[in-house]
Structure 1
């Protein structure tokens, strides 16, 4: 009792009186106070953590529960009837039995065999679901790949369902087995599906291109407009930009002009696309290449003028080299033009009639000719003149016999030696022009190479004129004409003198036309920047002075020419790649070089794109909107299949 009394007193005294500093530590009151202070400073007790988990037992199957296979932590029971997954705490007989009797009372008395069958059915359904999902995903990707090939080959959408899929089924069933062929049949590839797939791919390619352009900054464009089979005016635009240490060329857009094809209308549609849709800045456009049409080059409302105004600077404009070469080649003296007109009449006489065309083919086969057909002359095709003239000259004997059988008055032309000589010369000179035209075509071209080709041709004309000006003219530069002269030694001197005058007149006209369309001032400006093509030719300081460079650019050029490793790199890499690769080390010199190299020199890509449009939008598909198909067929980017199929739900073909 004393102990309890003492405790009560000590507690009461501790609550009413201040503690004495002389109080001994072993007094009961002090012990109580220490305990109270200790309990006050200690943190609250932690929540009790579960130290064990319930384990699944095979005996739980009699209650209709199996272990959930998809859970990777603690085991949880899953009902084989309703597929409901319970918590681990419910993994005991009483809870499982309560679920069975409450949710499925009619099955509470079923034997274990019944629940075993339900277990097997559930496993089978999960397996089928997983297999079907995987198969659908693969079929969807295969559908996109086939649609991509259809667009690349520019064939109708129905080709997939009517040709590609049946062919694949036949191949797989023959080479493998029927089960593999059944999987192939799951690929959705109907015409509407292919159309949607091509649109998805085109959207992905467009996003990639816009992202590259926004990152690159500076770019150059070439544009041209034409009319398709349904009389719609189509504007095709290609772009060149810097990407990953090289120039990339890609189709920027394929636009339909709603009404007129004037400069204002073209610029309005183009500006809505580039600035409004793609969020690009005209100030980054450093070059425009077009033909010489007024709607493109007009001083007041031309496309080039309006783009320059929007960019706030003088954008470099280049007249297509190929168009200029074709315009220069049109200047033919009347005495030679008459021969060309006669050739066109002969071709139309034979090709204009189906019967005549068949009879002429049989005649050529009987005579063992190298060719059996003639080609139509098309004014707008670059290589047309040279090819038809060469073909008519090679088949001159067959044509002569055929016209005699038809009793045509044009048969006398092929008996006229002077006419044949002019034909052989025209065949040669236009073959030379075709060679130049082919050198100006192609992708990844630069202005220095094209200027060199044009300048070399101008010098060749001057050389040919000099060879003909002597007393004994030489014709080695015209092999067909030379061969004809050697085979027919009886040609009169008067005829040869007249031919010589005609050739000299034509060469003079051709030289004047080339000088008009390729003036010396333009070529001189390119030659003044020849250091871009061969910077190591200016190693000496005095050679750099006359290059019209800023002090920083001169200093960088001298440092660049002193680096032997860069000399080796330039010899083994394209010109554009070299200058882009040194942009960090020589920024001023690299930027000036890129501004000279990035503009296009021709509209070749646009012309090739219109050929693609002609194949896509044919007479049978005249209502096709070719934008997506053109994007997929002409894009240089590769589709990102993961992004394309990420948000698409896979379905089996039906």
Structure 2
């Protein structure tokens, strides 16, 4: 019996050895601290047993899409794994402190605060969390070996005030890393917008986008409360007061790049409910009969006036038309949104929509109404006002982006390096980025466009940013890299705010 037991124990120990290939296969690592469990780099969850079956089951059950997005044994998967390992190492450096008993207690308190913040739990729940940990540990093992662990848990300070301080420490560490990354970047851009929180306090959101040497980062730089009126002057003053001296210098640098820059150029007071206009009109048209019935039952004069308006066919035709056109504008507004969108993406969508407007004009002028389903469903009348509206909308789009500060030839080249470029491309690039070596840029352009390594990598790259980062990671095309990073660092909109 004893021999059998020893053999089983040996087999179990062998099975509990972590194999390095599991990192590439399942995105798992084994942290270096004592009694560490295999940890998933994607969700940071650990598995209780260090066996491939449990690790594979976790990966296939919870992250089935990871294999599709990043196929095994590809460069894309390797880059993603390295990025996840870097993020985990960074968070570990923040959360793991020292070797002394008290330092470990502080580290545990930081981790508890991190969990509370991640799950949007109030800080007052921390004491309940502490009591729960003590009860669980007492129940699991009443031996003397657990006394020290339980004593350490009881020493942890998890009051609301302490938890708030822990979050501030974590916040300062993260912000310090962002500021350090921005200070090292050749270019960065700021997205600044004002919105309100659930208590109706106006908040100024400041996001930064920059290239850290490996990837393009989008991070929250600052969140500044605004009291009273949120005018452009107030926002500008708050941005100066609320940011650190380092952030202030970075913002001054951004403003200094443009001779015409003023506080009025900040993207402020965007209507965050803009998308709801099209949806509200669509819902209004869908529920028109119910609305009429409701107004008909009302005894008020205002309701009667509204009902007369809704019975007007010309008025309702205009409402149906606006519902359709706002629906198209909503689609345009949604397409450039999301993280890691670039200026090139935005320009591409705007060009596409401008061409669509030509199609919409022809569609409504001929009465086909293929792209105006609400107007067609209500059998509304097509008026000259509608046709004129689309013409003016198209003219507005054309004029609004004709004088864009970045030459279109440069944006087109970043989108597709194989496209035919203007003869004065290097001059345009030099005018946009004065620090470029124009002579070297022209030589790089010829070499870059005649090599066979441009077309295929562009088609197989995960994204435009991935192509330029991967192809231009060396200094062989240093001036082209400057142009690409300058364009791709820009925020396309204030959506991230």
Q: TM-score range by the shorter chain?
A: 0.5 to 0.7
Written as runs of structure 1 = structure 2, the 5 A alignment for 1:438-453 is: 438-453=334-349
TM-superposed CA distance for 1:536, in Å, is 2.4
Taking a change above 3 Å as real, the CA distance of residues 591 and 528 of structure 1, as seen in their structure-2 partners, is: closer
8 Å Cα contact 2:192-2:267 kept in structure 1: no
TM-superposed CA distance for 1:262, in Å, is 6.8
Q: Provide the C-alpha distance between the structure 2 equivalents of 1:260 and 1:426, rounded to a whole number of angstroms.
A: 32
TM-superposed CA distance for 1:396, in Å, is 2.3
1:397 matched to which residue of 2?
289
Looking at both structures, which has the greater relative contact order when contacts are Cα pairs under 8 Å and sequence separation is at least 6?
1
Q: Provide the C-alpha distance between the structure 2 equivalents of 1:449 and 1:286, rounded to a whole number of angstroms.
A: 24
Written as runs of structure 1 = structure 2, the 5 A alignment for 1:376-525 is: 381-407=273-299, 408-409=303-304, 410-470=306-366, 473-485=367-379, 496=381, 499-516=382-399, 518-522=400-404, 525=407
Alignment: residue pair count: 377
1:616 matched to which residue of 2?
none
Q: Provide the C-alpha distance between the structure 2 equivalents of 1:146 and 1:161, rounded to a whole number of angstroms.
A: 10
2:75 matched to which residue of 1?
none
TM-superposed CA distance for 1:255, in Å, is 3.6
TM-superposed CA distance for 1:453, in Å, is 1.1
Secondary structure of 2:184's counterpart equals helix
8 Å Cα contact 1:448-1:533 kept in structure 2: yes
Taking a change above 3 Å as real, the CA distance of residues 427 and 177 of structure 1, as seen in their structure-2 partners, is: farther
Q: Does 1:244 align with 2:213?
A: yes
1:535 matched to which residue of 2?
417
Taking a change above 3 Å as real, the CA distance of residues 415 and 591 of structure 1, as seen in their structure-2 partners, is: same
Taking a change above 3 Å as real, the CA distance of residues 298 and 558 of structure 1, as seen in their structure-2 partners, is: closer
8 Å Cα contact 1:286-1:599 kept in structure 2: no
Aligned CA-pair RMSD: 4.1
User: What whole-Å deviation, never above 9, does each CA across 1:410-429 have from its counterpart, x for those lacking one?
Assistant: 44555554444433322211
Q: Provide the C-alpha distance between the structure 2 equivalents of 1:553 and 1:523, rounded to a whole number of angstroms.
A: 21
Q: State the TM-score, normalized to the length of structure 2.
A: 0.63
Taking a change above 3 Å as real, the CA distance of residues 415 and 273 of structure 1, as seen in their structure-2 partners, is: closer
Secondary structure of 2:475's counterpart equals coil
451, 455, 466: which one aligns with 1:567: 455
Written as runs of structure 1 = structure 2, the 5 A alignment for 1:2-81 is: none
2:485 matched to which residue of 1?
594
Secondary structure of 1:552's counterpart equals helix
425, 443, 460: which one aligns with 1:547: 425
TM-superposed CA distance for 1:200, in Å, is 1.0
Q: Does 1:276 align with 2:158?
A: no
Structure 1: give runs of 5+ residues left out of the alignment: 1-132, 289-296, 305-316, 324-378, 486-494, 607-654
2:110 matched to which residue of 1?
144
Secondary structure of 1:565's counterpart equals coil
2:26 matched to which residue of 1?
none
8 Å Cα contact 1:318-1:600 kept in structure 2: no
Q: Does 1:579 align with 2:468?
A: yes
User: What whole-Å deviation, never above 9, does each CA across 1:449-474 have from its counterpart, x for those lacking one?
Assistant: 2112112212212222123333xx21
Secondary structure of 1:440's counterpart equals coil
Q: Provide the C-alpha distance between the structure 2 equivalents of 1:464 and 1:279, rounded to a whole number of angstroms.
A: 46
2:127 matched to which residue of 1?
161
Q: Provide the C-alpha distance between the structure 1 equivalents of 2:296 and 2:134, rounded to a whole number of angstroms.
A: 57
Taking a change above 3 Å as real, the CA distance of residues 318 and 197 of structure 1, as seen in their structure-2 partners, is: closer
TM-superposed CA distance for 1:434, in Å, is 0.8
Taking a change above 3 Å as real, the CA distance of residues 168 and 481 of structure 1, as seen in their structure-2 partners, is: farther
TM-superposed CA distance for 1:475, in Å, is 0.2
TM-superposed CA distance for 1:282, in Å, is 6.1
8 Å Cα contact 2:363-2:370 kept in structure 1: no
Q: Provide the C-alpha distance between the structure 1 equivalents of 2:292 and 2:298, rounded to a whole number of angstroms.
A: 10
8 Å Cα contact 1:275-1:282 kept in structure 2: no
Q: State the TM-score, normalized to the length of structure 1.
A: 0.49
Secondary structure of 1:535's counterpart equals coil
Structure 2: give runs of 5+ residues left out of the alignment: 1-98, 428-437
8 Å Cα contact 2:324-2:373 kept in structure 1: yes
TM-superposed CA distance for 1:185, in Å, is 6.4
User: What whole-Å deviation, never above 9, does each CA across 1:381-410 have from its counterpart, x for those lacking one?
Assistant: 121211111122222233333333334424
TM-superposed CA distance for 1:270, in Å, is 4.4
8 Å Cα contact 1:157-1:191 kept in structure 2: yes
User: What whole-Å deviation, never above 9, does each CA across 1:119-172 have from its counterpart, x for those lacking one?
Assistant: xxxxxxxxxxxxxx988666543432232243344443224335x5567678x4
TM-superposed CA distance for 1:190, in Å, is 2.2
User: What whole-Å deviation, never above 9, does each CA across 1:595-639 have from its counterpart, x for those lacking one?
Assistant: 222122211222xxxxxxxxxxxxxxxxxxxxxxxxxxxxxxxxx
Q: Provide the C-alpha distance between the structure 1 equivalents of 2:251 and 2:281, rounded to a whole number of angstroms.
A: 46
